[in-house]
Amino acid sequence: MDLVSIIIPVFQVELYLDKCIESVVNQSYRNIEIILIDDGSPDCCSVMCDAWAEKDNRIKVIHKQNGGLSDARNVGLQSAQGNYVAFIDSDDWIDLRFIEILYKAIVETEAEISACDIRKVYEESEERITSIDAIKVQLSTPREAIQDILYDRRFRTVVWNKLYKREILINERFETGRYHEDEFFSFRIFDKAKQLAYVDIPLYNYRQRNGSIMTSFSLQHLDMLDAYLKRIELLEKKYSDLASKDKLNFCIACVNLYCGILMRNKDEKQKAKERIYSCRKQIRFSKEELSTYSWKDKLYIIFSRKEWIEPVCRIRILRMNKADE
């Protein structure tokens, strides 16, 4: 059996870490190496990682100064020895057949990447067991997989519901110091593949919790716009029929992010405004392209412009506040 490297960055997740690691060490596919990257976590995670390594010789622990999620994943990639690589977030957990099923999907279809469905799990919800009967694998081209990113379906932009052949990750790294690091990464990797395999079974449990990176707003969330611009650049060169959809997504993101910054302090708000304005200026629409959008879509395109975005966002927030009264 091929060796599979499972990379798990660890930072301030002491309440969830044991469940995550337990789901990995108990995988039905046994030939795995588990790389725990202690990213300078200030809680008990460092001790917990070492304790797990003493129990299972497949676990390797790397302690490092805090450098963020991307840096931790990159350290894991440098250390990985497997022919296949998976990334797991340390507050989530996986089905016991996660690796087995995704590995089989790659081997049987000769794809370079396999992905599964996900299950969002809320703090108060009960845990459910995934029933696995017949396993159907759908093959997709890079274009189809990138299209899934744009519509947030199947393959998605996240890296943690996937298994990758090691060769496709050679010379690839996550951009450090960024939020939305997967947005910068996934479309590039999809574009390198010949084909991708999708398993329509929720094998990955995605924990929704207050205070996580993805549920708390900060100015770093504006990194998303830079990721959009890089992806749009690729789409216009290679998948021009998808570029219009992503440019619309970009405009919607501008409006949503602007609404999020209106409650920040004056200095943060000004910095965010300048960054949004600067990114929005880089997106152009031809008359022919505009004619393909619905009226609702055209409004988002117009409202994302500098002269419209603030009044539109203030009206939206007022309406939301009245609805909550």
pLDDT tens, position by position, 157-170: 999 999 999 999 99
- Alpha-carbon distance of 49 to 14, in angstroms, equals 10
Pick from 35, 28, 47, 42: nearest CA to 9: 35
Mean pLDDT to the nearest integer, 167-190: 95
Mean pLDDT to the nearest integer, 238-250: 96
Amino acid letter at 68? G
pLDDT score of 126: 57
pLDDT score of 131: 65
- Determine which of 113-122, 259-268, 278-287 has the lowest per-residue pLDDT on average: 259-268
pLDDT score of 198: 98
Which position has the higher pLDDT, 123 or 155?
A: 155
pLDDT score of 86: 98
Listing DSSP states for 149-218 in one string gives HHHT-TT-S-STTEEEEGGGGTT--PPTT-SSHHHHHHHHHHHH-S-EEEEEEEEEEEEE-TTSGGGS--
pLDDT score of 193: 97
Mean pLDDT to the nearest integer, 171-192: 95
pLDDT score of 213: 47
Pick from 9, 143, 10: nearest CA to 80: 9
Q: What are the φ/ψ torsions at residue 320 (nearest 5 degrees)?
A: -65, -40
- Alpha-carbon distance of 254 to 249, in angstroms, equals 9
pLDDT score of 289: 93
**Looking at the predicted structure, is the pLDDT value of residue 215 above 70?**
no
**Looking at the predicted structure, is the pLDDT value of residue 208 above 90?**
no
Mean pLDDT of the chain: 92
Mean pLDDT to the nearest integer, 122-151: 83
DSSP E strand boundaries for 42-175: 59-64, 84-87, 93-94, 113-122, 137-140, 162-165
Let me know: does 261 contact 275? Beta carbons within 8 Å: no
Pick from 36, 41, 48: nearest CA to 67: 41
**Looking at the predicted structure, is the pLDDT value of residue 239 above 70?**
yes
Burial of residue 95, with CB atoms counted within 10 A of its CB: 0-12 exposed, 13-18 middle, 19 or more buried: buried
Residue 83 burial (CB count, 10 A): 15
pLDDT score of 130: 65
- Alpha-carbon distance of 301 to 304, in angstroms, equals 5
The proportion of the chain whose per-residue pLDDT surpasses 90, expressed as a percent, equals 82
Mean pLDDT to the nearest integer, 278-303: 95
**What sections of 110-141 are H helices per DSSP?**
none
Model-level pTM?
0.92
Q: Which long-range contacts (CB under 8 A, 24 or more apart) does 56-65 make?
A: 56/25, 58/25, 58/32, 58/33, 58/34, 59/21, 59/25, 59/33, 59/34, 60/33, 60/34, 60/35, 60/36, 61/36, 62/35, 62/36, 62/37, 62/38, 63/38, 64/37, 64/38, 64/39, 64/40, 65/40
